[in-house]
């Protein structure tokens, strides 16, 4: 029987060194793309997939991420008094249901696999989604919802995948592929950040996963992999053959907002078709294109 998926883990303990000094005194997950912080994109995406419980894996200096999901009573009262309806709606949507968000600490930056393992008590014996807030996905149906749709058919682990230029395989988890119907790909093997010459394909994992709780047993060994870190990819690889395991070519576009160029592209992509901003964005883009 396929168990319903209601939980999500969001690792947010990273130091954000690529965005210093902006992230010196604020978490990188609070950086806004247009008018919403990265963390909110991830939570909204998960909610659209029917996920109801969230675990943030945080670290030192990340408390504002928890505060962000509180109800801002004073601000709400002021906005109400001033008749600022759309601003009021925006902040009301940004809080979560009481008791639905918890945080655990990852005291040391030992890798993504270690961060996920820190959420083991929250997960217990339930399947769960993982969302890496650095990746923002622009899509019709939310990317995690697409993964959950696939999971409801196949069961087991499902990871969102996309083709990357061959020379970029050393930036991602890469699939060794079995049968492939153009959308769902059977996962035969997984390698974390392989050198292009050793990469089994150019199909890369993006920061969206549906995981079976058995991953925690593998992670608990805390074995170090690529870069000397406890890698989620290595623990997932150990599950191949034990649970169904698929890659899903999701519909949508991923922006790597952990990277400055990706972050800037996301600002354009997520504002260009907005009724309130699109016109202005197109105008200034024309100006800059003319300067090239």
Interacting residue ranges for ligand G1P, rule: CB under 6 A: 112, 132, 135, 172-173, 192, 204-207, 231-233
Smallest distance, Å, CB 47 to ligand G1P? 21
Alpha helices, H only, the chain: 38-48, 63-68, 73-81, 85-94, 112-117, 120-123, 143-154, 215-219, 232-237, 260-269, 278-290
Q: How far is CA 233 from the centre of its chain?
A: 15
Between residues 38 and 79, which has the closer beta carbon with respect to ligand G1P? 38
How far is residue 169's CA from residue 163's CA, in Å, rounded to a whole number? Answer: 10
Asked whether 176 and 205 are in contact (CB, 8 A), the reply is no
Between residues 23 and 94, which has the closer beta carbon with respect to ligand G1P? 23
How far is residue 102's CA from residue 104's CA, in Å, rounded to a whole number? Answer: 7
Smallest distance, Å, CB 135 to ligand G1P? 5
How far is residue 103's CA from residue 98's CA, in Å, rounded to a whole number? Answer: 14
How far is residue 129's CA from residue 54's CA, in Å, rounded to a whole number? Answer: 9
Smallest distance, Å, CB 121 to ligand G1P? 23
Residue 267 burial by Cβ neighbours in a 10 Å radius (0-12, 13-18, 19+):
middle
Smallest distance, Å, CB 187 to ligand G1P? 13
**CB count, 10 Å around CB of 126?**
14
How far is residue 94's CA from residue 66's CA, in Å, rounded to a whole number? Answer: 12
Between residues 257 and 281, which has the closer beta carbon with respect to ligand G1P? 257
Between residues 65 and 257, which has the closer beta carbon with respect to ligand G1P? 257
Smallest distance, Å, CB 234 to ligand G1P? 9
Between residues 132 and 144, which has the closer beta carbon with respect to ligand G1P? 132
Between residues 10 and 132, which has the closer beta carbon with respect to ligand G1P? 132
Smallest distance, Å, CB 42 to ligand G1P? 12
∠ CA 160-166-168, nearest 5°, is: 70
Smallest distance, Å, CB 243 to ligand G1P? 18
Widest distance between CA atoms in the chain: 62
Between residues 79 and 212, which has the closer beta carbon with respect to ligand G1P? 212
Between residues 79 and 112, which has the closer beta carbon with respect to ligand G1P? 112
Smallest distance, Å, CB 258 to ligand G1P? 6
Closest residue to ligand G1P using C-beta atoms: 173
CA distances, 61 to each of 16, 66, 252, 284 (Å): 11, 11, 32, 36
């Amino acid at each position: 029987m396929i168990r319903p998926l209601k939980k999500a883990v969001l690792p947010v303990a990273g130091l954000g060194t690529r965005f210093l000094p902006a992230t010196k005194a604020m978490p990188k997950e609070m950086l806004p793309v247009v008018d919403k912080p990265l963390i909110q994109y991830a939570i909204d995406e998960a909610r659209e997939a029917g996920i109801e419980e969230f675990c943030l894996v945080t670290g030192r200096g990340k408390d504002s991420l928890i505060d962000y999901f509180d109800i801002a009573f004073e601000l709400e009262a002021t906005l109400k008094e001033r008749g600022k309806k759309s601003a009021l709606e925006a902040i009301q949507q940004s809080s979560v249901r009481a008791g639905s968000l918890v945080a655990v600490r990852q005291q040391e930056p030992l890798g993504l696999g270690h961060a996920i393992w820190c959420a083991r008590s929250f997960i217990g014996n339930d399947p769960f989604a993982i969302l890496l807030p650095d990746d923002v996905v622009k899509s019709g149906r939310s990317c995690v919802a697409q993964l959950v749709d696939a999971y409801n058919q196949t069961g087991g682990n499902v990871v969102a995948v996309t083709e990357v230029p061959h020379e970029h395989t050393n930036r991602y988890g890469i699939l060794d592929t079995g049968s492939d119907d153009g959308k769902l790909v059977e996962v035969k093997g997984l390698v974390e950040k392989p050198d292009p010459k050793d990469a089994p394909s150019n199909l890369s994992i993006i920061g969206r996963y549906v995981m079976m709780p058995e991953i925690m047993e593998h992670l608990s060994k805390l074995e170090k992999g690529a870069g000397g870190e406890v890698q989620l990819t290595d623990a997932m690889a150990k599950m191949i053959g034990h649970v169904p395991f698929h890659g899903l070519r999701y519909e949508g576009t991923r922006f790597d907002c952990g990277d400055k160029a990706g972050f800037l592209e996301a600002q354009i992509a997520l504002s260009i078709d907005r009724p309130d901003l699109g016109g202005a964005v197109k105008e200034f883009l024309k100006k800059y294109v003319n300067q090239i």
